[in-house]
Amino acid sequence: MERAIVLVGLNHQSAPVAVREQVAFQNGQLGPALRRLMDLEGVHEGTIVSTCNRVEVIACGTDATRLSGLLPRFLAGEHDLAEAALTGHLYTHADREAVRHLFRVAASLDSMVVGEPQILGQLKQHYAAAAEVGASGRVLHRCFHKSFSVAKRVRSETGIAEKAVSVASAAVELARGIFDRLAGKSAMLLGAGAMGELTARHLLAQGVGSLMVANRTFERAIDVARALGGMPVPWDGLARTLPLADLIIGAASGDDFLLGPAALEDALRERRRRPIFVIDLAVPRAIDPAVNALDGVYLYDIDDLEGVIADNRGARAAAAAKAETIVEAEVDAFWGWFTSLDVVPTIVALRDKLEALRHRELERTLAALGDLDPKHRQAVERLSVTLVNKILHAPVTMLRRHQADRAESFYIEAARRLFRLGSDADAMDDDDPEE
């Protein structure tokens, strides 16, 4: 019987935040959702990962094609969406690809901020939630734990984390060139958008005291402000609140610039020319480039920030390449283990092993007995064959009986360990806590 791992999901690259937030799972929803996932026919194990940048469902079952059809429907159904609403935003990875994807996510190679460390913690959290409701089994247990150790390897061997060079951290680094400390400074987020929110989050994490959120639709400003722990401010009253902002993040683009030199000149005068750091993340740009000419305004658009990052890009690319190599090697190792989990090869291996033992012992015995007549010889041989078949009967029956059900991998692994089969004999579960 076939076995398969399928991962279906969307992330910051495949889907805009408007779609991502529709399918995100809140903390309380995760347990019930996992139970419903397990109730689906053909799903043996499952885990859901839901962060602000990605929502992914990983499932183990018997049929990759079937799972690939099932999971998008599940994801849409969980959020009362039509499946069509997600088309074009979802990616589906099966088997090796699914494992690789998970490893890359854990190693923060798939993050918006490559090398950022939070994702590993989030992954652990979501795996623990799945383990709690019994949704993860042997395969996902090993797969996730392997992904954690891959992440650790990547971090310690490539130094990619130190070079978590991102637009957001470049912005923070530049802000340090302007402001003595970020504590007590106010930031203003203009418009919504993944990049803007991430940068605002990053700034808050780095100690920026307060965040104002302005949006053309005030409701949206309220939502974003709530998510980030900021304060929504009305779009119409921007002239009043703008002078309070030491950092301005432009995140929404429109037909026209959101801010021009006149508005910022007013703000500067109001704040007695204390400097303003303006970060324009929008494409097309949200802020008139002419404001950089104002004394006390430091404008960086997305290209400038990328240019700032570019210094380190060579080193980063090298680190990323090395990380990918590590991931690839670990996927290979995992895949070797995973494919050995099938019933048929296990039975074949079991037979081969006992057959080999039988042959060896038979020859040794016959040699020791010296000249036997053919009748006796046949009797001894028959004895050995019968013995092997009798020994094999119960395990093989058990394996066959549990083929394709949830206990399958348990019996397969038990058989492989008890009889020391194949590669499992030496390299079994190096990171398994039970050992």
Partner 1 sequence: MSAELACLRLALLLYFAAAVAALLGVAVQRETPRALMPRLLGTGLVLHAAALALRSAHAGHPAVTTFDEALSFLALLLVAIFLVIQFRRPLVALGAVVCPLAFGLTLAADAVYAGARPLPPVLDSVWLPIHVGLAFLGDAVFALAFSASLLYLVQERRLKAHRGPSLLRHLPSLETLDRLNYSCLVWGLVLLTLGMVTGIIWAHAAWGQFWSSDPKVLFSFLIWGIYAILLQGRMIAGWRGRWAATLTIAGFAVLVLSLVGVNVLALGNHGKAF
User: 């994801």: which residue's tokens?
Assistant: 75
Please say which residue, 109 or 319, places its beta carbon nearer to partner 1.
319
According to CB under 8 A, which one of 152, 226, 240, 274 is a site residue for partner 1? 274
With binding defined as CB under 8 A, does residue 21 bind partner 1? no
Q: How far is the CB of 222 from partner 1 (least distance, A)?
A: 32
Query: How many residues sit close enough to partner 1 to count as binding (CB under 8 A)?
Result: 24
The region of 97-105, 271-279, 350-358, 413-421 touching partner 1 under the rule CB under 8 A is: 271-279
Please say which residue, 76 or 165, places its beta carbon nearer to partner 1.
165
The region of 1-9, 169-177, 320-328, 426-434 touching partner 1 under the rule CB under 8 A is: 169-177
Rounded to an integer, what distance in angstroms lies between the CA atom of residue 71 and that of residue 40? 9
Q: How far is the CB of 273 from partner 1 (least distance, A)?
A: 5
According to CB under 8 A, which one of 26, 28, 177, 426 is a site residue for partner 1? 177
With binding defined as CB under 8 A, does residue 265 bind partner 1? no
With binding defined as CB under 8 A, does residue 159 bind partner 1? no
The region of 49-57, 170-178, 225-233, 340-348 touching partner 1 under the rule CB under 8 A is: 170-178
Catalytic residue status for 52: yes
Catalytic residue among 10, 37, 52, 109: 52
With binding defined as CB under 8 A, does residue 173 bind partner 1? yes
Q: How far is the CB of 174 from partner 1 (least distance, A)?
A: 6
Q: What is the 3-state secondary structure (H, E, C) of the chain?
A: CCCEEEEEEEECCCCCHHHHHHHCCCHHHHHHHHHHHHHCCCEEEEEEEECCCEEEEEEEECCHHHHHHHHHHHHHHHCCCCHHHHCCCCEEEECHHHHHHHHHHHCCCCCCCCCCCHHHHHHHHHHHHHHHCCCCCHHHHHHHHHHHHHHHHHHHHHCCCCCCCCHHHHHHHHHHHHCCCCECCEEEEECCCHHHHHHHHHHHHCCECEEEEECCCHHHHHHHHHHHCCEEECCCCHHHHHHHCCEEEECCCCCCCCECHHHHHHHHHHCCCCCEEEEECCCCCCECHHHHHCCCEEEEEHHHHHHHHHCCHHHHHHHHHHHHHHHHHHHHHHHHHHHCCCHHHHHHHHHHHHHHHHHHHHHHHHHHHCCCCHHHHHHHHHHHHHHHHHHHHHHHHHHHHCCCCCCHHHHHHHHHHHCCCCCHHHHCCCCCCCC
Please say which residue, 53 or 166, places its beta carbon nearer to partner 1.
166
With binding defined as CB under 8 A, does residue 360 bind partner 1? no
According to CB under 8 A, which one of 79, 296, 388, 396 is a site residue for partner 1? 296
The DSSP bridge pattern shows strands 4-11 and 91-94 to be antiparallel
Q: How far is the CB of 201 from partner 1 (least distance, A)?
A: 21
With binding defined as CB under 8 A, does residue 275 bind partner 1? yes
Please say which residue, 266 or 361, places its beta carbon nearer to partner 1.
266
Q: How far is the CB of 161 from partner 1 (least distance, A)?
A: 17
With binding defined as CB under 8 A, does residue 283 bind partner 1? no
With binding defined as CB under 8 A, does residue 304 bind partner 1? yes
According to CB under 8 A, which one of 39, 41, 180, 255 is a site residue for partner 1? 180
Q: Which residues bind partner 1 (CB under 8 A)?
A: 170, 173-174, 176-180, 272-275, 292, 295-296, 298, 300, 304, 307-312
Active-site amino acid positions = 52
